[in-house]
Amino acid sequence: MSAVTVDPMQSAPAPSQPPSIFPLDQWYVAALGWELKDKPVARTLLGHSVVLFRTADGQAAALEDRCCHRALPLSQGTLDAGGIRCGYHGLLFNSQGECIEIPGQAKIPSKARVQPFTVCERDQIVWIWFASAAGGAPTTEPPAYDVHSNGQYLFEGDVYHYDAPYQLIHDNLLDLSHLGYVHLQTIGGDAKTHMNAKMTVESEGDTVRVVRHMLDSIPPPTYVAAYPFTGRVDRWQEIEFHVNHLRIWTGALDAGSEPVDSQNRGGFHMRGFHGVTPETESSSHYFWTIATNPKSNAEAVKEKVVEQTRLTFDEDKVVIEAQYRNMCRFPNRGMVDIHVDVGANRARRIVDRLRHPAS
């Protein structure tokens, strides 16, 4: 499904805000492009109540989800040619938060405005900028993700809400050794193979990269259902962590057919985008897409991969939320690290550093 891409970045002042427990001066995923249709979307992002919508000319926009008149959430209103109209008394606000119409009243008070947020849509991902200071404009463009736009893959995605802190989702995605235990019926495979896979972890700046290879292994059910392998396979898992999203490239080749680390490798591909955005300190939004490269029956194979991916993420959600509930039951108990935790621990150090930048 295509969505309109906004070329210019709307430069709106950042909202006034107390000190954040999350890294600021960052883009975060606010929505997938196809979510913004003919109705407003309400979402809490980094503790801020936001209404997201698409203007009549196709641009993504975001405002504080509160009418300045009588405080009704604007997300309970309707979209209009000029912007978003409050569902209580009909005040109309444009994408910059300015009230441009009050039904039955010609004069519009100068204070009749709501806080706008800076948003930019790129590769069908809607990003929102959270600044560390009021009025802080973006210092970078939002990340590109040309897997959605280069025409080499078919993809779909969805949004999950987690009753768990966002860094637990980071931990899960950076440690794919759990696949052999949590995802036996989909992308898992033999647990011993996963736990003993050759793994390298590299860090540079604010990025962590984890690479795992599982050579001459049995393909898991999802792979067999999606691709005509001849027998055993060489699998790869490449995970790239950024503070506002992760990119995971997994797949497999017929064993011994070509180098598993070639950038132009063939075989079966699954490219995942994972936008992990805090809602509050203890809850999160998880925006995901999965892209694949079917050899035949393209739409059927894509739907199979998406279905299997959704089942996989359902399983992850159960585990992560149960993990967090138990952490709350045992608040003073520590946890022991093992060899698969290297990538997650490095990512946590990056997040901690960005939360407390040098003054």
Domain CATH number, residue 324: 3.90.380.10
Predicted local confidence at residue 9, as pLDDT: 38
Residue-range definition of the domain harbouring residue 298 = 147-355
Q: What region does 92 belong to: left with phi over 0, alpha with psi -120 to 50, or beta?
A: beta
Provide the token pair at 13: 């002042």
Boundary (domain end) residue, out of 144, 162, 184? 144
* Geometric angle at alpha carbon 350, from 345 and 356, rounded to 5°: 125
- Clarify whether residues 90 and 56 are in a common domain: yes
Name residue, tokens 């009230």.
99
Rounded to whole angstroms, the Cα distance separating 180 from 193 reads 8
- Clarify whether residues 80 and 96 are in a common domain: yes
Q: What is the mean pLDDT of the chain?
A: 90
Res. 181: pLDDT tops 90: no
- Clarify whether residues 225 and 276 are in a common domain: yes
Predicted local confidence at residue 188, as pLDDT: 54
Res. 193: pLDDT tops 80: no
Boundary (domain end) residue, out of 127, 144, 161? 144
Name residue, tokens 């075989």.
267
For the segment 207-224, the average pLDDT, to the nearest whole number, is 90
Angle separating helix axes 166-174 and 298-329, nearest 10 degrees: 120
Give the pTM. 0.90
- Clarify whether residues 126 and 209 are in a common domain: no
Res. 359: pLDDT tops 60: no
- Relative to beta strand 198-204, strand 60-64 is unpaired
41 domain residue, yes or no: yes
Q: What region does 31 belong to: left with phi over 0, alpha with psi -120 to 50, or beta?
A: beta
17 domain residue, yes or no: no
200 domain residue, yes or no: yes
For the segment 160-175, the average pLDDT, to the nearest whole number, is 96
What confidence category does residue 198 fall into, taking pLDDT thresholds of 50, 70 and 90? Answer: confident
Q: How do residues 38-89 score in pLDDT, each as one tens digit?
A: 999 999 999 999 999 999 999 999 999 999 999 999 999 999 999 999 999 9
Predicted local confidence at residue 289, as pLDDT: 98
For the segment 255-260, the average pLDDT, to the nearest whole number, is 94
Rounded to whole angstroms, the Cα distance separating 230 from 293 reads 17
- Clarify whether residues 204 and 127 are in a common domain: no
177 domain residue, yes or no: yes
The count of other CB atoms within 10 Å of the CB of residue 107 is 7
Boundary (domain end) residue, out of 113, 144, 175? 144
Predicted local confidence at residue 3, as pLDDT: 39
Range with lowest mean pLDDT among 12-16, 19-23, 97-101, 219-223:
12-16
Res. 185: pLDDT tops 70: no
